[in-house]
Amino acid sequence: MTEIINSQADMTVVGTAADPLVARDLIKVTNPDVLTLDVEMPRMDGLEFLEKLMRLRPMPVVMVSSLTERGSEIALRALELGAIDFVTKPRLGVRDGLLNYTELIAGKIRTAAGARLLPSRHATARAGQGAVAEAPQESLLRSPLLSTEKLIIIGASTGGTEAIREVLQPLPPDSPAVMIAQHMPAGFTRSFAQRLDGLSRINVKEAEHGERVLPGHAYIAPGGFHLSLARSGANYVAHLDQEPPVNRHRPSIDVLFDSAAKHAGKNAIGIILTGMGKDGAEGLLRMKRAGAHTLAQDEASCVVFGMPREAIALGAVDEVSPLSEVSRRVLAHLRTFGERANRV
């Protein structure tokens, strides 16, 4: 890691520590811009240290996690505690494997350095401010004639795991189907889906190729696969493929948004959340031109405002919303849509 970081013109390692207790003292002396933090360390594990750090001296953290089922669960817990992002550590040949990921690691550190630190769900719960978004009023849930044709399509990247949770949790059990492209490596999306499923009133799962897309369900693109919307007769179905990355990503948000523009049109609601880069911006514009209602997360609530900013600049966004209001605005739009259909 030191070799990778010091090879970059715009970053320097100011200290290394074999355990969190040494790191604690080094942080006070060196005042770093970003901390890279391994999970498995002597004297105190990385999650325990991260929790203390984000409570006492918040700073951008990039976790280094093993690519295992346990590693994926720990990485997701780290994001919940306030880490900006994570990189996966190869199981064998760690040094050579990490050198192959120089560009990825450096990019994540740069993103973390410029990211907005937001209160973690754990921290706000401890402060008594509530751990989750407030559920919408019941009047928003009794939308007449909510068609099974309606879909909610979401794209997110850095900071997106917690943002997606906040969008999904208030949705009612009979919500329109949700399809999600979150930039995440293979091996982590299944744990991500399982975690969200336990926190939400809708069913959340990793998408499977060819399965029907049903109301009351959310489908997350598996890491390493593009997820797109397709039709099979009168039904929506999920399509997975391993075509080349788009905007350097697989899953790509643009791929999902483009398919929604093609197959759902005005029946879709497109949402672009926090993330670095421009993936999803052009796809959201195509959704809007196809008649979809589109939303972007606002700058103040984004960990990284890159993707929403790009979409707004293109004129692809109908509404800019704080993260805490996204679900409410989606349900309000659905209710309005249903009332109009009822009058017709």
Q: Name the phi and psi angles at 218, rounded to 5.
A: -120, 140
Q: Which amino acid is at 82?
A: G
pLDDT of residue 195: 95
Residue 343 has pLDDT above 60, yes or no: no
pLDDT tens digit sequence for 239-266:
999 999 999 999 999 999 999 999 999 9
Q: SS3 letters for the chain?
A: CHHHHHCCCCCCCCCCCCCHHHHHHHHHHHCCCCEEEECCCCCCCHHHHHHHHHHHCCCCEEEEEECCHHHHHHHHHHHHHCCCEEEEECCCCHHHHHHHCHHHHHHHHHHHHCCCCCCCHHHHHHCCCCCCCCCCCHHHHCCCCCCCCCEEEEEECCCHHHHHHHHHCCCCCCCCEEEEEECCCCCCHHHHHHHHHHHCCCEEEECCCCCECCCCEEEECCCCCEEEEEEECCEEEEEEECCCCECCECCCHHHHHHHHHHHCHHHEEEEECCCCCCCCHHHHHHHHHCCCEEEEECHHHCCCCHHHHHHHHCCCCCEEECHHHHHHHHHHHHHHHHHHHHHC
Q: Answer yes or no: are the C-beta atoms of 115 and 303 closer than 8 Å.
A: yes
* Contact partners, residue 128, CB within 8 Å, separation at least 6: none
pLDDT of residue 119: 75
For the residues 25-36, what does the mean pLDDT come to? 95
pLDDT of residue 148: 67
For the residues 114-136, what does the mean pLDDT come to? 58
Q: Specify whether 157 is catalytic.
A: yes
Q: Which of 85-89, 113-117, 125-129 has the highest mean pLDDT?
A: 113-117
Longest CA–CA separation in the chain, Å: 68
Angle, CA 296 vertex, CA 132 and CA 234 arms, to 5° = 90
Which two tokens mark 209?
């190729």
pLDDT tens digit sequence for 58-78:
999 998 877 656 678 888 999
pLDDT tens digit sequence for 301-333:
999 999 999 999 999 999 999 999 999 999 999
pLDDT of residue 120: 64
End-to-end CA distance of the chain: give it in Å, rounded. 62
Residue 134 has pLDDT above 60, yes or no: no
pLDDT of residue 91: 64
pLDDT of residue 16: 94
pLDDT of residue 128: 43
For the residues 184-197, what does the mean pLDDT come to? 93
> Where is pLDDT greater, at 164 or 102?
164
Confidence label for 192 from pLDDT (cuts 50, 70 and 90): very high
pLDDT of residue 190: 94
Q: Tell me the percentage of the chain whose pLDDT exceeds 90.
A: 70
Q: Which of 85, 120, 183, 217 is catalytic?
A: 183
Q: Specify whether 183 is catalytic.
A: yes
> Where is pLDDT greater, at 146 or 237?
237
Instruction: Check the CA dihedral 287-290-292-293 and report its sign.
Output: positive
Q: Which of 72, 120, 157, 191 is catalytic?
A: 157
Confidence label for 144 from pLDDT (cuts 50, 70 and 90): very low
Q: Which of 279, 298, 301, 321 is catalytic?
A: 279
Average pLDDT, the chain: 88
The whole-model pTM stands at 0.90
Residue 300 has pLDDT above 60, yes or no: yes
